[in-house]
Amino acid sequence: MSGYKACFVRSVQWSSEVNPYIYILLMSLAPGFEGRYAVVTARALGLDAGHSIFVASLGVIILSFLLPRALPLADIVAESLIRRGWGPLARIASLYLSYAERARNRARPVVERYGFLGLVVFVMIPLPLTGVWTGAIAAYLLGMRPWKAALALAVGGLLSIGIMSASFLH
């Protein structure tokens, strides 16, 4: 393990002042880690499997319902940049908004028909660049309704924790 993940794991090992499950919760909220890798790290640190799964699941549920409601802020920021006329930033924001709107309009019928199950499977698969964060961004850009995206993200994220937990619960 290298990079920021290794530093995070070392900090968990070195700090005895903070409840280790707080670290597991924070890891389950972090892009790239999320709940599926938080449970594996928790087990590597010798933490209780049941408590670790519960805390990581809590993080997945928080992300699943927060991200679909927070991502629309990107459009608000882009619109604000355009209104203020901030040169190159306004042009980039305009390009983003036009691209996002075209993508949403084109993808909306497909997302409405297959999106929920497709998003669940995408989030569930424990591979790099899949997961709740990436799934939330994809659902937003494709125009999936926030409540539907939140439910798909939660189901996929929890199934992902189940897949990763199966390796140490046998």
* CA separation for the pair 99, 32 (Å, rounded): 26
Under DSSP, the state recorded for 145 is -
pLDDT above 90 as % of the chain: 41
pLDDT reported for residue 170: 62
Structure tokens at 94: 């305009």
pLDDT digits (tens, 9 = 90+) for 2-48: 555 555 555 555 456 788 999 999 999 998 889 999 999 998 889 99
Domain regions of the chain by residue span: 3-169
The torsion region of residue 143 among left (phi > 0), alpha (psi -120 to 50) and beta comes to left
Rounded Cα distance between 45 and 13, Å, is 7
Distance between CA atoms of residues 132 and 30, nearest Å? 10
Per DSSP, the residues of 91-111 read HHHHHHHHHHHHHHHHHHHHH
User: 8-22 in b/e burial notation, b at 16+ Cβ within 10 A?
Assistant: bbeebeeeeeeebbe
DSSP structure string for 26-39? HHHHSTTTHHHHHH
Please report, for residues 98, 109, 149, the alpha-carbon distance to residue 52 in angstroms, rounded to integers and kept in the order given: 43, 39, 25
For the stretch 89-121, pLDDT in tens is 889 989 888 877 776 676 566 566 778 998 898
| Chain mean pLDDT for the chain | 85
| pLDDT-derived band at 128, boundaries 50, 70, 90 | confident
